[in-house]
Amino acid sequence: MLLKNKKILVGVTGSIAIYKALDLIRLYIKAGAIVRVIMTESAKKFINPITFEAISQNKVLDERSENWDK
C-alpha cells in the first residue's frame, strides 16, 4: 500500500468543502495512512469535531486543545 503507516495532517477551515475533507480522510485511512485533523473554530460551525474523530480514529486538535494526548 502506497500510504501504509504514512502520517498525514489535514487542516480544516470554515468552508463547504469541509465535506470533501471527510471523503479524503476516509480514502487515506482505507489506504493505510495515519490521519490527524486540526480544525479552526469556523470549521466547527459546519461540522462537529466528533465526526472527524470517528473517521480519522484520532482526537481532533483545535485552538482549545494544544496536544493530541488521549
- Contact present, 8 and 28 (Cβ < 8 Å): yes
CA distance 13 to 70: 23
3-state secondary structure of 61: strand
pTM of the model: 0.84
**What does the pLDDT average to over 39-66?**
91
pLDDT digits (tens, 9 = 90+) for 28-42: 999 999 999 999 999
The DSSP bridge partners found for residue 49 are none
**pLDDT-based confidence at 12, cuts 50/70/90?**
very high
How many Cβ atoms sit within 10 Å of the Cβ of residue 60?
A: 21
What rounded mean pLDDT belongs to the chain?
91
